[in-house]
Amino acid sequence: MMSQPILALCLCLCLCLSAAVTPGCTKDGVAIDQAPFSIKATSKLNTALYLDWSNTGGSAFSFDAADGAAWLARRPAQPPCIQACSATAKGTNCTLKCKLSAPMVKRVDPGESVSFTWQGDFYMVFDDHCSVGDCFVITSPGPGRHRAKVCGTDDWTCTTKPCPQPVGIFQGELKGDLRCFNAELVIPYEEQELEIVMEEVQAPPGG
């Protein structure tokens, strides 16, 4: 018969492993049923900003979750060409054989806004479940401080000939260093919209 300490250890390990790959679970065991809301990024920049729009906004927007003094990255949209961890057995090839769509860029001019609707779930990518590739698990956010983030660049480059006109959404790739802007929130978040203001960083007085 298994001793009580060993039995308790096995039960703890099973619960921890289950929480790591079960939708709706978080590391502290608390999950929030967050309702969808819109994240609007408004440009107060002096020049245009270019966003990666290959995943219909899911590539440009992201989340961070507060973990003490650190921020942990969270993905708010399903990653392209990766299937759910539950769709295949552990140890098999989990990445779908698919062809990525052409990279797309969205131009945001000064004074313009762009929106992304977050459905209230995070997509955690695991690289230790599959023998080849990655898979994802849908998880609910835990309560507490988060920040929504949008990133883009000041330039872009052609991926086709002739080059398209850089207006609206067009085929191309980002070029240069990413510039990121964020807005903090506390989950559960009960508003219909969260706004991120994209503006130039002001130098401190005398700086």
pLDDT at 20: 37
Residue with tokens 């510039």: 179
11 within some domain: no
Q: Which ranges of the chain have pLDDT less than 50?
A: 1-28, 207
Q: Please tell me the pTM assigned to this model.
A: 0.80
181 within some domain: yes
16 within some domain: no
59 within some domain: yes
Q: Give phi and psi for 77, each to the nearest 5.
A: -140, 155
Q: Is 156 left (phi over 0), alpha (psi -120 to 50) or beta?
A: beta
What's the rounded Cα separation, in Å, for the pair 144 and 184? 10
Helical residues (DSSP H) of the chain, grouped into ranges: 4-21
203 within some domain: no
> With the CA atoms of 62, 183, 198 and 200 taken in that order, what torsion angle do they form, in degrees rounded to the nearest 10?
-120
Instruction: Tell me which residue range forms the domain holding 44.
Output: 21-198
pLDDT at 9: 35
14 within some domain: no
What's the rounded Cα separation, in Å, for the pair 121 and 142? 10
Q: What are the tokens at 109?
A: 């001019």
pLDDT at 87: 86
Q: Which of 138, 137, 147 is nearest to 189 (CA)?
A: 147
Domain count, the chain: 1
- Long-range CB contact pairs, 122-129, < 8 A, 24+: 122/63, 122/74, 122/75, 122/76, 123/75, 123/76, 123/77, 123/78, 123/79, 124/74, 124/75, 125/75, 125/79, 125/82, 126/21, 126/85, 129/21, 129/85, 129/90, 129/94
Q: Give phi and psi for 2, each to the nearest 5.
A: -75, 135
pLDDT at 85: 93
What's the rounded Cα separation, in Å, for the pair 109 and 82? 32
116 within some domain: yes
pLDDT at 50: 98
pLDDT at 55: 83
13 within some domain: no
C-alpha distances (whole Å) from 159 to each of 36, 75, 104, 169, 196 are 34, 26, 9, 14, 29
pLDDT at 204: 59
